[in-house]
Amino acid sequence: MRKKIIAGNWKMNKTVADALTLVKGIQAELAGSTEVEVVVCPPFTALKSVGDVLTDSQIKLGCQNMSSENDGAYTGEISHTMLKELFVKYVILGHSERRQYYKETDFWVNKKVKKALETNLRPIVCVGEKLEEREAGNTEKVVEAQVRGSLADITAEQFENVVVAYEPVWAIGTGKTATSEQAQEVHAFIRGIIRDMVGEKAAKGLRIQYGGSMKASNAKELLSQPDIDGGLIGGAALEARSFVDIVKAGL
């Protein structure tokens, strides 16, 4: 049985003060609940404050990007050492917004995934097709290239610490969710690629989240699909009530 994992990607939102209000609201509702793994990914500037609130909590801390390098002259970058010092456990890598606006390629995502795994951080690796790619019938081709490229050379053992997030770009922030059938189809396809890459055991154990306009009203149906093991939540993670309701849908 794969434990469901619901992660909130706060993107470039929340000052430290607002982040504290949000995380305290989430924690007040979810204290002690362990059936679903819950992760919050604030912006870098709020990691320390949010992490301090989460000491001794079941809720885990994640971040939204990481350098592929250890240290040195990389202006504006954040290293694994800096993140681990703040008790970060998960790192979102290869989000479509980073691929689109900052030209992150599978090559770079793969370098970051390897660095994360080498340093005991758990990557949440995002893949997903754009609207024109879906309409052209290229969803599987695009997703397969991203999965194979971003996760190249990762061993079956390392896969135990990997989470994949399927986020169709056309569903992100648009209010258009993939239907549960559309999402399930791609999730099963991704699991099949992983099976081909590293074998049945790792594929069976891999958690694959859905992301893209997930909210309390559609979460239960998405999360009841056999290959959907959680959610990566954007807009609905910015408010404690809606985020907590999604987590509860996963119970």
List residues near ligand 13P by CB under 6 A.
9, 95, 167, 172-173, 211-214, 232-236
Tell the smallest beta-carbon distance from residue 230 to ligand 13P (Å). Answer: 12
Instruction: Tell me the closest approach of the beta carbon of residue 136 to ligand 13P, in angstroms.
Output: 22
| DSSP per residue, the chain | -PPPEEEEE--S---HHHHHHHHHHHHHHHTT--SSEEEEE--GGGHHHHHHHTTT-SSEEEES---SSSSSS-TT---HHHHHHTT--EEEES-HHHHHHS---HHHHHHHHHHHHHTT-EEEEEE---HHHHHTT-HHHHHHHHHHHHTTT--TTGGGG-EEEE--GGGTTTS-PPPHHHHHHHHHHHHHHHHHHH-HHHHHH-EEEE-SS--HHHHHHHHTSTT--EEEESGGGSSHHHHHHHHHHT-
Nearer residue to ligand 13P within complex by CB, 214 or 249: 214
187 is a catalytic site residue: no
Catalytic residue among 129, 133, 167, 187: 167
State which residue, 92 or 203, has the beta carbon closest to ligand 13P. Answer: 92
Taking the complex as a whole, how short is the minimal distance between the CB of residue 24 and ligand 13P, in angstroms?
22
Closest-approach residue to ligand 13P (CB): 234
Nearer to ligand 13P, 100 or 155 (CB): 100
Say which of 37, 80, 95, 187 is annotated catalytic: 95
**Among this protein's residues, is 95 annotated catalytic?**
yes
